[in-house]
Copies of this chain bind each other. A is one copy, B any other.
Amino acid sequence: MTEPQLTTLAACTGTAMRLAKDESLKIVNIHGTQVVDCWAFNADDLEEWMSMPHTRNACRKLTPAIGESFVTTLRRSILTLDEDTSPGVHDTLIPCCDAARYKELGCEGHANCADNMAYGLKELGIDPPPPPAPLNIFMNIPVGPTGRLEIVPPVCEPGDYVVLRAEMDCIIALSACPHDIFPVNGAAATPRDVAYAVYPAWVGGAD
């Protein structure tokens, strides 16, 4: 199978795409420091979406392992984590950054993941809903023994990637998180480009 061309998602920006059942999305952490917020919606019913609470319940973990699926608000598989070359540290606990968050932080008007999601969906002609809790790919939020949460840099190497396979026709939105205050996007708190590619459904063959 020819490797699909990678598309750059520029630092601080968002995009969205349609993914047919069995197609896969590869998301590459080019610099190893960048978090990517990810949402998935059932393409046939945008009121059914990838849900972090339902996913945690389904896999009995904070984050699914390779081979496990993210599920929707209706408890149906929507994306399966087929590959992950990173240490597998992703976050399902923290909401996306948004205008209200940056206002709290004294940075009114800051680029944010909620607006990036909305931008991506609008480009597809979709009226954006309020953002569900995202899958924060590569985001590192250690949970202490007393339930204390820390916000620390990703533990990835440059080039680490995940591959998510669609279990239904879905709409994916991605945001290269623009956060530059806490070390969400690396110790330098500098948002960076990431890259992605869509792979066709695997049609079998030599293995």
- A148 and B100 in contact (CB under 8 A), knowing A52-B53, A53-B52, A53-B94? no
Give the copy number: 2
Binds B, one of A60-68, A153-161, A170-178, A185-193: A60-68
- A74 and B100 in contact (CB under 8 A), knowing A47-B130, A53-B93, A133-B133? yes
- Contact indicator per residue, chain A 84-119, by CB within 8 Å of chain B (1) or not (0): 000000000111001011001000000000000000
B53 contacts A95, CB within 8 Å?
yes
- A60 and B143 in contact (CB under 8 A), knowing A75-B104, A95-B53, A133-B133? no
B130 contacts A61, CB within 8 Å?
no
**Neighbouring B residues of A62 by C-beta, 8 Å:** 93, 143, 147, 149
A29-55 CB contacts (< 8 Å) to partner B? 47, 51-54
B133 contacts A53, CB within 8 Å?
yes
Given contacts A52-B53, A60-B148, A60-B149, 5 further A-B contacts (CB under 8 A): A53-B133, A56-B94, A63-B147, A133-B133, A143-B147
Residues of chain A whose beta carbon lies under 8 Å from any beta carbon of chain B: 47, 51-54, 56-57, 60-63, 73-75, 93-95, 98, 100-101, 104, 130, 133, 143, 146-151
